[in-house]
Amino acid sequence: ARYERKLPKSRRSVTSAGRRLTSESILIFRKPSLPLRIPTRYQAFGYEEELAQRELDAMHSASNLAPDSLRRLAFSSGVVLAGRQSSTWQHLIEDNGSARKKNSTYASHGLHRYKGKFYPQLAKCLLNISREIDGIVLDPFAGSGTVALEASLLGIRSHSIELNPVGAAIARAKVESLSLPPAFLREMGASIADHTRGRLRGCDWTQFPPESRDEVSSWFAPRVASRLARLLAAIRDVARKGPADRVEALRLVGEVVASDLIRSASHQEDSDLRIRRTATPHEDFPLESAFLERWNLLVDRLEHVAEVRALGMPALGVASFERGDSRALEIWPDSCSTVVTSPPYAAALPYIDTDRLSLAAVFGWPKQSRRELESALIGSREISGSSHTEMFTAISSMSLTEELPASTRNFLFDLAGRVASDPDAGFRKQQTPSVLAKYFIAMNDVFRNIRNRVTDNGHVWFVVGDSFTTVAGQRITIPTTDELVSVAIENGLGLADVTPITVTRESLRNSHNAIVRNSILHFRPT
């Protein structure tokens, strides 16, 4: 501020120069008003506090964001600016009545279980640090659509690529459910309840693809198969009676909710990600009541989202989806300003085995199609005998494609030598070097696509961790993180920073082999 003051004539300086002054200015300086973040009510990890400060700094310095943009913060419950306190949208939308527990199933994030699901608050934070608002966010390994959903809630356009049909269906259902009126969904649930009341009258096998009916009969008790067929018929029939432009979305959301119940209702051991029958198979399972409980919980959460959005959240961002292979450049957008993804690890989780019953019973993928799909997934452990022989020979002779960095080729060469000298190595172990080579070659193609499509001032975020294998009794780390950094650099991306993070371990069979540490890799085009 500046104030002018007239000087009195009777009290001027004794000097002639001072007596010529008739006024003076009072200048008041103040440090700029900096925003103050209010921490989350739950206990945050150290890396979350670090990321919280980074997103606050990034968004406060952004010139293209609206004045209330700090309400987008992911790891803060509120912000104080110029003496005014505001709750973040994340705090309001995540609020589950608990002051000490983090909620990662808000909105439609809890629609369907998905092993290795991206942590939603982290996805939002990385978008904020990128100061993303105007461009397109790309996720080339969409999984269950966490990035797409967070981008949509922030009013950002997104494009997602996912080859696994279950993941692709979940991702679309999560985002599309946001734009469906909760009141209509509530009525749809009541109509499905009406359709599924009464005595079972045998199984309507027309609800299952002909190629999958033997598998459904083998993995579900007769009464459960009948209940599942009746539930699917109700979902599809009620959806067809909805508005013409919403029929596909309504059917998809209903089928995804039903899909999440499949493993629990089947003879599959629910704690095992691979194919294993439970010791005590279900003779019956209350599918209808379980579905309605899940459905109403989803509607409750969507109603809460609608109430928070009415307080001034941005309009939902447009999301596009492509079920396909991220190595195919033609299914990528022409350009994107931010990439946020959590790619599959080398020798990845058995995504197809885990959801094979959903693929068969709900989404119409019989065994043969699933085998081909499993082999095509990046990170899959499946490799044909001829491909393994060709790849192993190339690794052992150091003639593997020179597109891969020398460090990656040297690691694979060393591992192949160890495996070849281990007399106890089974066929899976013998294939490990070839499977890993296949993975790194595929990731090289993806990084090349990223560099071709990301803008020159863009941000690329990969959340990934190292797995391990055991050869001749010795545990060997598969340096996925370091080698992906090398592959990215080879393709014109510079490593800006690395942030280590912890990973929650789930109570599943073989969870002692789970990855417990990840890294956030931040790349910028060079």
Q: How much is the pLDDT for 84?
A: 86
Q: How much is the pLDDT for 347?
A: 72
Q: Alpha-carbon distance 274 to 114, whole Å?
A: 14
Q: How much is the pLDDT for 210?
A: 94
How high does pLDDT run on average in the chain? 90
Q: Alpha-carbon distance 197 to 234, whole Å?
A: 10
Q: For residue range 415-469, what is the model confidence (pLDDT) as tens digits? A: 999 999 999 999 989 999 999 999 999 999 999 999 999 999 999 999 999 988 8
Confidence of residue 507 (pLDDT cuts 50, 70, 90): very low
Among 98-107, 108-117, 151-160, which range has the highest average pLDDT? 151-160
* Helix H or strand E encompassing 80: strand 78-81
Q: How much is the pLDDT for 13?
A: 61
Confidence of residue 354 (pLDDT cuts 50, 70, 90): confident
3 state SS of 18: helix
Bridge partners of 454, per DSSP, are 336
Average pLDDT over residues 263-272: 87
Average pLDDT over residues 315-324: 97
Q: Alpha-carbon distance 490 to 484, whole Å?
A: 10
To 10 degrees, the CA torsion angle through 328, 333, 339, 344?
-30
- Comparing 159-173, 180-194, 268-282, 446-460, which segment has the lowest mean pLDDT? 268-282
**Does residue 182 or residue 68 have the better pLDDT?**
182
Average pLDDT over residues 123-136: 92
Question: 């119409």: which residue's tokens?
Answer: 364
Measured CA angle at 469 (ends 463, 471), to 5 deg: 160
Question: 């960095």: which residue's tokens?
Answer: 405
Question: 């997602």: which residue's tokens?
Answer: 160
Q: How much is the pLDDT for 508?
A: 46
Q: How much is the pLDDT for 277?
A: 87
Average pLDDT over residues 269-282: 80
Nearest to 192 by CA among 262, 241, 260, 245: 241
% of the chain residues with pLDDT over 70? 92
**Does residue 81 or residue 259 have the better pLDDT?**
259
Among 206-210, 278-282, 370-374, which range has the highest average pLDDT? 206-210
Confidence of residue 206 (pLDDT cuts 50, 70, 90): very high
Confidence of residue 333 (pLDDT cuts 50, 70, 90): very high
Nearest to 37 by CA among 70, 82, 63: 70
Residue pair 449/332 in contact by the 8 Å Cβ criterion = yes
The whole-model pTM stands at 0.89
